[in-house]
Chain A
């Protein structure tokens, strides 16, 4: 119990003192997760809309694949991305291994099925009367799409937050693709794994609490948006 309390105290000290290592890990985490969330939302929401809204041959099979990918282990994603971007891999010349962009690519692969599946579920749950209303009020196809998305914004927001939760807390991709390099690719989660491995439980807990604070900082504005 003592090391848990020490962890809380140390978390406050780390943040207030502006500890460089901590803030480096925070910055790496925020950069990688921001990029991966932007990419997965830009790609995932329209794809989720297509799967949830349109009826086309193979739709059910595609949905099955997407749902299956929800269970992808992070270490497996990390392994596959590593295989592609390692020096001898097909994308080795891009120099992405042990970089934040490399981590972001892996995290995008992790988040994309979550965004697609939950967006599709939200769209499928959309009231059938919405389309009738929008067409009756004179909306064209583009207006129909954007208004429909706005009407189900809470569901889309939930999809984004769920994906964000997975991305922020993953270790496997960051470790395998990023390499946990201090000052460069050490994220909060890889730092926790490292500190715990060294027996520095308090530091691990402190970093965990920092991670929670970041998650709260993201969730709070989303919660305020939900009220509108």
Chain B
């Protein structure tokens, strides 16, 4: 059974549609990443999945049943950690204990145990932090307290909106580790959003791409946005930088707004452009970083070409003894026919 089923979802603000999802499901115990630029609808999607907001149209089913804000089936079980997490005007301890006190069997000792456990999960020493007031925390510490408040509930689902944005490296590491620990210990389903596909690809089993409120496919892939031109060969082109032009086959309905998507395993990485076989095209860029995906065992590479970030999987044969290193000039090869259009 799917954990979430979304059908014919439309959500708008003041009549302006911000999210349109025809159909989408989330599996139990999965780690799902939602990636997209600012304004793509990621936060709105999490608000709907967290039952903080209700879609203007459409239906969201949770564990097979329709659910809404305050429903018993989701209250205290689906926890949303927003990007700007609000801390209640009380101590760290009472912030984390707040939701626990609504639960049955919430005795004082049980609450204390759960609060301390959650604090340790996010790397906050209970002795040092429990009594601190909400205003005496750094940005990273505040985010970790907010996460601890959700973890203390041992939720069935943890939704995190840009969990590592604007926090220090230590906090980012703690947040990631705590979320994965929750999944391992309690089977918590994780759904996280980020504009950084590489960070998400590192932890996610499935990756969903959002753009202007619409799903543009899933998986580790590259998205190239319009407007598009047509060249003499009838191919659609987009200049990524002065001498690097992305070419694609296809007939999108709107040349200005069409988005070209190409899966990471449909691209290849080369250090020598002479080795790129026809009819593949090659784009020259700088290899920025390599990511090991724990869930798939594959190594992904991010190559910057102009303003675009191209995501490529290294073949398994190359991954273990690769001569690729960040900072190198590299060529990304792809077949212009292997494009999906949105």
**A interface residue numbers (CB < 8 A to B):** 127, 129-133, 135-141, 143, 147, 151
Contacts and interface: CB of A to CB of B under 8 A. Distances in A.
B75 to A, nearest CB: 5
B286 interface: no
A138 B69 contact: no
B153 A137 contact: yes
A138 B153 contact: yes
Contacts of B150: 136-137
Interface in B39-88: 47, 50-52, 69-70, 75-82, 84-88
A137 B47 contact: no
Report, as a range, how many residues of chain B touch the other chain. 20 to 34
A130 B103 contact: no
Interface in B78-100: 78-82, 84-89, 98-99
Given A135-B69, A141-B70, A151 B88 contact: yes
B102 interface: yes
B256 to A, nearest CB: 34
A132 B86 contact: yes
B70 A137 contact: no
Contact of A129 (B70, B75, B85, B98): B85
Contacts of B149: 137
A133 B77 CA distance: 13
| Interface SS of A by simple majority | helix
Interface of B: 47, 50-52, 69-70, 75-82, 84-89, 98-99, 102-103, 146, 149-150, 153
Contacts of B70: 135, 140-141
Nearest to A140: B70
29 contacts: A127-B86, A129-B85, A130-B86, A132-B82, A132-B86, A133-B82, A133-B86, A133-B87, A133-B146, A135-B52, A135-B69, A135-B80, A136-B79, A136-B80, A136-B150, A137-B79, A137-B98, A137-B102, A138-B76, A138-B77, A138-B102, A138-B103, A139-B99, A140-B75, A140-B102, A141-B70, A147-B88, A151-B88, A151-B89
The 4 A-B pairs with the shortest beta carbon distances in the complex, nearest first, are A138-B76, A129-B86, A137-B99, A136-B80
A138 B52 contact: no
B50 A135 contact: yes
Given A135-B50, A136-B80, 15 more contacts: A129-B84, A129-B86, A130-B88, A132-B80, A133-B82, A133-B87, A135-B69, A136-B52, A136-B78, A136-B99, A137-B150, A137-B153, A138-B76, A138-B77, A140-B75
A133 B88 contact: yes
Q: Which of B69, B86, B89: most chain A CB closer than 10 A?
A: B86
Nearest to A136: B80
Given A132-B47, A132-B80, A132-B82, A138 B75 contact: yes
A129 B82 contact: yes
B68 to A, nearest CB: 11
A140 B101 CA distance: 12
Contacts of A129: 82, 84-86
A23 B99 CA distance: 50
A147 B70 CA distance: 15
A133 B85 contact: yes
Contacts of A130: 86, 88
Given A131-B52, A141-B70, A143-B102, A136 B81 contact: yes
Nearest to B99: A137
Contacts of B78: 136
Nearest to B88: A151
A1 B77 CA distance: 70
A133 B89 CA distance: 12
Contacts of A135: 50-52, 69-70, 80
